[in-house]
Structure 1
Amino acid sequence: MQLRHLADKAVSTGLQEPASSPAAAPIQTTEPRQPAGPDALDIFASIGMLAYEWDIVTDRLGWGDNLAEVLPGFADVDLSSGRAYGERLGAQSATSRFDAIVTATGSDDGNGVLFNAIYALAPPRETGGGPLVWIEDCGKWFAGRDGRPCRAHGVVRVITERHEMERRMTRSAQFDALTGAMSRALLAEHSLRLLGQPEKTRKPFAILLVALENLFALNRTYGYDAGDEIIVGLASRLRSNVRVNDLVARYAGNKFAVLLENCDVEQAKSTGQRLIEVIAQTPFTTEIGSISVSARIGAVVAPRDGRSPAVLFQHAEEALDAARQRNAQRLVCYATSLARDNGRLHALQISDSVVSALNERRVELAFQPIVQAQTGQTAFYEALLRVRLADGSIVVPGDILPIAEKSGLVRLLDQRVLELALAQLRADPSLRISVNASVATLHDPEWPEWLANATRVYAGVADRLTIEITETTLIDDFDKTRQLITDCKRQGIKFAMDDFGAGHTSFRNLRLLDFDFVKIDGVFVQNIIKSQDDRFFVRTLTDLARHLGLKIVAEWVEDEETAQLLQGWGVDYFQGSLYGSAVMVAAPGESQPLARLA
């Protein structure tokens, strides 16, 4: 039952004046009351509720007989009037019982009007004082003949512990627990306050979005504890190098936002450049030693670059994205939509290049060897996409695949890579190849039929082909992926789970999928000599794969010490710079493409 709904029943059980208050005649009321059970007061006392009735006209305040139990610090204090009770109100209180009554919405139709208030009471010094006692006060007020409140009754209970917990939760929502910097939400509130100032007196202000570079690599190289120490140090360094009235907020992950009040574009550039220098010039001290880091900054100036916090943040992120581009300045100030227009133009140029490369057969393969762990002999190759531009330069997948995926071209690239791989397999009967398949390709309803036709055209090679699927792809549509693997394996094609460990596939799902190989994500392999966490994780993955009878490929094997450790754990194959980088291969004589763009 809600606290405020108990108010009427509490009062109906009978009230008394505080022991210290002068004798007073019982408060007469005209409201009909429902009889309460004989143990109602005991129930209220057992759950910490104290009933009261207040005659607002005469200011007499009556209390239930469990006052000393609910408010022990006030048992010997005069609380016989609303005024005396109000004198105990703590300065931190945002409201009071009186405020809640006079500001309550609605009018009394004879049943009273509900009110609710949360406030603090300060124990009197003469009784020893003490910390504030926070009160929740719920009840009803009733109107006199003039329609204004003339009396009220209700219940109070102590909520000091709950109030403190809510205060801590509110603070945790407003300030970052790791660095003590304010949250993005609180930064947005400050920005909104500055934007809402009168136009005649409003001053421009800047927001600098500061991003720590390569935090992921730092975490992998030095450990997450060192990464956290760097983030804490960055927050401290930012606060030490801005004005007292400027604000520093933890924006997200490796990003901080600095709000510079009364700041124009030139001042924002000057401050941003200075922050970049002070971040880079002195290494950060961590438990494992000094670590040098660098940062990039995207800047906006309000209200020129936005008249709401959301727009300002969006534009700051666009400026930061521009600063992160290859060969870009470390500090970029937002300039209307030029960056986005340039980005769209670049995407169109890439898409046109991909279309031309497909039509003109400039999609090529590079082979990277995958060797047997025991002998170091090449077991098979991973066929990697390369696109040769019209000027003869080579583009790697990372430069085109994000745009190709958005433009719907990645399926055609996958088909061409697979077609080239099948041609290589037919030309060399001793060759074994693995190729990657994107999410778009796997979810294409026409792809299984296309693959079946391709293996018929290149007869006798399917059993030397392996298709790699990233672990995260499985989450998108598990049942479809499972059916696809089943259908393809009927043709003799093998399947490998790529980036094993990155997507945390459940043990049950891994058992249900008929994989032949798992490829352990290289980000976990490259630092296993230095990182105890990575060693534990990779060892766990290898034990799981071996338990399921799967062959194991470790990616990014770059030194002998790593190779020996993995070999001892039972890894079957190695792939990485220690055994050879990807090398371009010449296409054998091939048939007409199976798919061609119009």
Structure 2
Amino acid sequence: MIDSELESIWVSKQSAELSSLLSSEQVTAEIEHLQQQLNCDGVVVILSQISEHITSDFVAQANALKVYESNSQQAEMLGLALVSFPILCEQLLLNQNSGLFPSIVSTETEQKGFSELLTNELSGLCSGLTKPIVLHINHCVVIGNSRLCLISYQHKTDDLNTAERANTDTFHKGNESTLKVCSHAELTRVSELLNNKEIQYLELFQQLPVACALIDKDDNVSKQNQVAIHNLPLRLNESLFSIINSDDHLLLEDCLHIVREGALHQSWCEIPLVISGTKHWYKMSFCRALDIEQHLLMMVEDISERYRLADELSFQSNYDPLTGLPNRVQFEAMLEEVIDTQDRLPACVAFLDLDQFQVINDVSGHKAGDELLCQVSKRLSLLLRTGDIVARLGGDEFGILMFHADKESAEQVAKRICQQLSQHEFTWGEITHNVSISMGLSELNSRTEDIYSVMSQADAACRIAKEDGRNRWHFYSKNDPQMHQLYNQMLASVDIISALALNQFELFYQLIEPLSSDESGIHMEILLRMVQEDGRYVSPGVFLPAAERYNLASRIDRWVIDNLLKWGARHIEIWEQLSMVSVNLSALSLSDSKFMSWLEMRLMVEPDLVSKLCFEITETAAVSQLEQATALIDLLKPLGCKLALDDFGSGFSSFAYLKCLDVDYVKIDGQFVVNVCDDRSDKAIVSAICQLGKDMDFEVIGEFVESEAIGQLLRELGVDYGQGYAIGKPARLIELASGVRTPWLIN
């Protein structure tokens, strides 16, 4: 890029005389003309065109020194002489004075305006000439990077004064001529520089490894390099806009305008082009070209790969890689759009969950599970209405968005999906699995505030469908009693998590009274209450179902056991007086390997306390998880703990499982005890269980002892222990002052 000062000289010189490109011959011709104008016998010009100031090492810059002389023998000799003395040329090019110099001089002759060095050197040059001359040296003129010194001479006459007067008349003309010749020389230098720069620029333009083109003021392609010719559909002298889609014209116009108006030195835009039927993305960058025709240089970079990767990343972030369906992020974005676009309402949202999917993973492996998910996703896509969308939300969960759907039409879709998928058999290897889904639906209307409320409603409805037996659908209704209960449990789960974090539980106890033996210590069951902020207690009948549903039961069991053992360690005297302390374990804790490992370690560090512990599990949990119940017995027995079977008789169909469980106590379900005095069947069942206890060597506990009469009858039937409000209501454990028992029934 050329110096800005030189570029301004080029632009400002508009006359024909100064805009022509002058060669060395033209400069010589100009000097001949100058000789005639000055009415002298000869002219010599010293010219230097260097970018830096002249230094003392002028010899090293001799290639920048030029000496021109008029067509005369004397001038030629003088010019040759000057070239041979670069130091003298340096002095002349630095000279800012004008004056006369006679060829025949003596050391006494006074010279005007020159140093002694200059005088001596010029004397030496002139003494060798064939004819004596009088020199007139004009001061050096500097224009741009050009320095010029003009030397004119007259032949020496006898009348030195006449020669001096003649040369004095030419001083003014000489100064003007020097300025003119220097201007022409600088113009020639700038012209050649510009020409060379343009040639270099065009060579570089062709050699650039990226596609480039020059765009003229009318947005036409004036030049293009080889890369552009082979890769872009550009044609010379045709508009750049002809290859671009009309939708992108405004973007390109703005990009060109920004550079042309000087708002930015460079601007760029990304535009798609279709080449040979394939869509390519190009980044087009524009800047001013280095010419005087106000072209723009366009550089084009193929960025199709970046867009392909961006599309791939977008797909991965918005679509499920296994099934190709939209993922949760994309599904929620579509729901958001429906809510924001009111005229697309009403719509319905469905939440689907595969029934017993974990069984397929466990039996046939995760690869089989993945294949089933792919098959189900294809079936769902075929079973939807045109325009409806199915998405995989995660795991075995799917979501469906039904546009312009009311409750009736959504239920028709749900019915069709449930029927069709229940007939879908999935075979993997030699195993055939039945497939079914549970489905919850919710309506999305103008009153819907956000996507999370409608998804929560559909999720809750799906949970109810599962609880009602699976392979069915349920439509959300805020007045649905089941939904009310589920909603309360959801709130309770939040409260449980908070209570665990803030230690907002408290231990209670209830007496278990021996009916036929005379024990000295208290036999009691540990109960749990949640403490609200206002100090009121929440019954476990409210929060324990929520804990079971939301997998919080094992965390609660851990809190109870840990805090009970801490209480026992602090009140070791009371603990030693106790006869037995019963603690409930949930079914979820039995199947939680981490909890069972923790329980073993926790009991082992309390050897003085564990012998008084008895763990209660429900009959339902024991039967459904017989292997885990057996493992619990194997863990507890070596430590000296006891095991009780709670709610016995509530759901059993056979006593066979009792042969596998070495239990110490069986608690008769309260439904057989509360009416035992009036119901013969209840009395018979209680009697049978007592006989079974004697034969299988376990003790029997009767729950729901609500009166002394019930207690007396239970003792007569052979029941070993009683528990109920008549014996004692639950009380705070921190208020227990003694472990010594006070008898309830007086013989």
Question: Structure 1-normalised TM-score?
Answer: 0.50
Alignment of 1:567-586 (within 5 A): 579-580=660-661, 584=666
Aligned equivalents of 2:414, 2:396: Cα separation in 1: 17
Q: Select 1:399's aligned residue among 529, 545, 553.
A: 545
**Paired residues of 2:509 and 2:733 also in contact (CA < 8 A):** no
Render the CA deviation track for 1:205-243: whole Å, top value 9, x for unaligned.
Answer: 222211112222321122112211221121122122222
Structure 2 residue 230 is matched with structure 1 residue 83? no
Alignment of 1:68-79 (within 5 A): 68=227, 71=228, 73-74=230-231, 78-79=234-235
Indicate how the Cα distance of structure 1 residues 109 and 95 shifts in structure 2: closer, same or farther if over 3 A, else same.
closer
Q: Greater CA radius of gyration, 1 or 2?
A: 2
Deviation at 1:276, TM superposition (A): 1.3
Structure 2 residue 418 is matched with structure 1 residue 276? yes
Q: In the alignment, residue 184 of structure 1 is paired with which amino acid?
A: R
Structure 2 residue 351 is matched with structure 1 residue 246? no
* Partner SS for 2:324: coil
Structure 2 residue 281 is matched with structure 1 residue 134? yes
* Partner SS for 1:182: coil
Structure 2 residue 440 is matched with structure 1 residue 323? no
Render the CA deviation track for 1:313-366: whole Å, top value 9, x for unaligned.
Answer: 2332232233333568932222247666434556899999x99996462899xx
Structure 2 residue 329 is matched with structure 1 residue 185? yes
* Bigger Cα displacement from structure 2, 165-174 vs 99-108: 99-108
Indicate how the Cα distance of structure 1 residues 273 and 398 shifts in structure 2: closer, same or farther if over 3 A, else same.
farther
* Bigger Cα displacement from structure 2, 240-249 vs 98-107: 98-107
Indicate how the Cα distance of structure 1 residues 118 and 256 shifts in structure 2: closer, same or farther if over 3 A, else same.
same
Q: Select 2:485's aligned residue among 308, 319, 342.
A: 342
Aligned equivalents of 1:362, 1:292: Cα separation in 2: 49
The aligned residue for residue 232 of structure 1 is: 374
* Partner SS for 1:176: coil
Structure 2 residue 355 is matched with structure 1 residue 213? yes
Render the CA deviation track for 1:537-575: whole Å, top value 9, x for unaligned.
Answer: xxxxxxxxxxxxxxxxx95889xxxx9xxxxxxxxxxx9
Indicate how the Cα distance of structure 1 residues 193 and 410 shifts in structure 2: closer, same or farther if over 3 A, else same.
closer
Alignment of 1:18-37 (within 5 A): none
Alignment of 1:145-156 (within 5 A): 153=297, 155-156=299-300
The aligned residue for residue 122 of structure 1 is: 274
Structure 2 residue 220 is matched with structure 1 residue 59? yes
The aligned residue for residue 437 of structure 1 is: 558
Render the CA deviation track for 1:340-398: whole Å, top value 9, x for unaligned.
Answer: 6434556899999x99996462899xxxxxxxxxxxxxxxxxxx99999xxxxx98997
Q: In the alignment, residue 317 of structure 1 is paired with which amino acid?
A: D
Could you tell me the percent identity over the aligned residues? 15
The aligned residue for residue 172 of structure 1 is: 316
Indicate how the Cα distance of structure 1 residues 492 and 292 shifts in structure 2: closer, same or farther if over 3 A, else same.
same
Deviation at 1:164, TM superposition (A): 2.0
Q: Which runs of 5+ in 2 are unaligned?
A: 1-196, 514-524, 530-539, 579-584, 611-624, 635-642, 644-656, 668-699, 702-720, 737-747
Indicate how the Cα distance of structure 1 residues 334 and 72 shifts in structure 2: closer, same or farther if over 3 A, else same.
farther
**Paired residues of 2:320 and 2:326 also in contact (CA < 8 A):** yes
Deviation at 1:267, TM superposition (A): 1.5
The aligned residue for residue 159 of structure 1 is: 303
Q: In the alignment, residue 462 of structure 2 is paired with which amino acid?
A: L
Q: In the alignment, residue 510 of structure 2 is paired with which amino acid?
A: R
Indicate how the Cα distance of structure 1 residues 356 and 168 shifts in structure 2: closer, same or farther if over 3 A, else same.
closer
Q: In the alignment, residue 734 of structure 2 is paired with which amino acid?
A: A
Aligned equivalents of 2:257, 2:566: Cα separation in 1: 68
Alignment of 1:321-470 (within 5 A): 321-325=463-467, 330-336=472-478, 341-343=484-486, 345=488, 359=508, 361=510, 399=545, 401-402=547-548, 437-438=558-559, 450=567, 452-454=569-571, 457-458=574-575
Q: In the alignment, residue 269 of structure 2 is paired with which amino acid?
A: A
The aligned residue for residue 443 of structure 2 is: 301
* Partner SS for 2:661: coil
**Paired residues of 1:362 and 1:387 also in contact (CA < 8 A):** no
The aligned residue for residue 734 of structure 2 is: 595
Render the CA deviation track for 1:107-126: whole Å, top value 9, x for unaligned.
Answer: 99845176443233334xxx
* Partner SS for 2:467: coil
Deviation at 1:160, TM superposition (A): 2.5
The aligned residue for residue 143 of structure 2 is: none
**Paired residues of 1:175 and 1:183 also in contact (CA < 8 A):** yes
Deviation at 1:170, TM superposition (A): 2.2
Deviation at 1:291, TM superposition (A): 0.9
Indicate how the Cα distance of structure 1 residues 230 and 78 shifts in structure 2: closer, same or farther if over 3 A, else same.
closer
Deviation at 1:401, TM superposition (A): 3.6
Q: In the alignment, residue 313 of structure 1 is paired with which amino acid?
A: M
Indicate how the Cα distance of structure 1 residues 280 and 99 shifts in structure 2: closer, same or farther if over 3 A, else same.
same
Indicate how the Cα distance of structure 1 residues 346 and 87 shifts in structure 2: closer, same or farther if over 3 A, else same.
closer
Aligned equivalents of 1:492, 1:116: Cα separation in 2: 80
Aligned equivalents of 1:492, 1:109: Cα separation in 2: 91
Asked which structure has the greater RCO (Cα within 8 Å, sep 6+), the reply is: 1
Q: In the alignment, residue 595 of structure 1 is paired with which amino acid?
A: I
Indicate how the Cα distance of structure 1 residues 221 and 102 shifts in structure 2: closer, same or farther if over 3 A, else same.
same
* Partner SS for 1:595: helix
The aligned residue for residue 28 of structure 2 is: none
Indicate how the Cα distance of structure 1 residues 332 and 116 shifts in structure 2: closer, same or farther if over 3 A, else same.
farther
Render the CA deviation track for 1:243-278: whole Å, top value 9, x for unaligned.
Answer: 232222112221112222332111112221221121
CA RMSD of aligned residues (A): 5.9
Question: Structure 2-normalised TM-score?
Answer: 0.42
Aligned equivalents of 2:629, 2:285: Cα separation in 1: 65
The aligned residue for residue 4 of structure 1 is: none
Structure 2 residue 264 is matched with structure 1 residue 112? yes
Deviation at 1:191, TM superposition (A): 3.7
* Partner SS for 2:510: coil
Indicate how the Cα distance of structure 1 residues 174 and 395 shifts in structure 2: closer, same or farther if over 3 A, else same.
same
The aligned residue for residue 259 of structure 1 is: 401
Q: In the alignment, residue 661 of structure 2 is paired with which amino acid?
A: G
Aligned equivalents of 1:209, 1:318: Cα separation in 2: 9
Aligned equivalents of 1:457, 1:269: Cα separation in 2: 62
Indicate how the Cα distance of structure 1 residues 404 and 118 shifts in structure 2: closer, same or farther if over 3 A, else same.
closer
Aligned equivalents of 1:54, 1:209: Cα separation in 2: 58
The aligned residue for residue 254 of structure 2 is: 102
Indicate how the Cα distance of structure 1 residues 349 and 49 shifts in structure 2: closer, same or farther if over 3 A, else same.
closer
* Partner SS for 1:249: strand
**Paired residues of 1:94 and 1:119 also in contact (CA < 8 A):** no
Aligned equivalents of 2:431, 2:256: Cα separation in 1: 61
Q: In the alignment, residue 74 of structure 1 is paired with which amino acid?
A: N
Render the CA deviation track for 1:122-156: whole Å, top value 9, x for unaligned.
Answer: 34xxxxx47443322345699xxxxxxx9755543
* Partner SS for 1:231: helix
* Partner SS for 1:244: coil
Q: In the alignment, residue 286 of structure 1 is paired with which amino acid?
A: W
Give the structure with the larger helix fraction. 2
Q: In the alignment, residue 242 of structure 1 is paired with which amino acid?
A: L
* Partner SS for 1:168: helix
**Paired residues of 1:297 and 1:330 also in contact (CA < 8 A):** yes
Indicate how the Cα distance of structure 1 residues 154 and 454 shifts in structure 2: closer, same or farther if over 3 A, else same.
farther
Indicate how the Cα distance of structure 1 residues 385 and 198 shifts in structure 2: closer, same or farther if over 3 A, else same.
same
Deviation at 1:194, TM superposition (A): 4.1
Q: In the alignment, residue 118 of structure 1 is paired with which amino acid?
A: E
